Amino acid sequence: MKGNMHAASNEKHEINSAYIYQRVLVYKDGKWETLLMTDSDLERIRKRSSKNEDMALQPSWLDKVLVWLGF
């Protein structure tokens, strides 16, 4: 599963809703899915990742080339 993260303004936010979400489009198990995360969600995810460094992913050479090309 790979994806790119983009900030998106929540135009129709409610009282307890975030103003900005991080959107990630991922392809997993044969289908595309959009995931929405708040800044606090990302902080929890980062803390969990730092506790499980043995599970960290590294970008492939193709990932690096695509980022270098701006994709």
Number of domains in the chain: 1
- Domain of 64, in residue numbers: 3-69
- How far the first Cα of the chain sits from its last, in Å, is 16
d(CA 68, CA 7): 20
pLDDT tens, residue order, the chain (71 aa): 456 788 888 887 777 788 788 998 888 888 988 999 998 999 999 999 999 989 988 888 988 888 888 77
Q: Which residue has the tokens 């993260």?
A: 5
d(CA 30, CA 17): 31
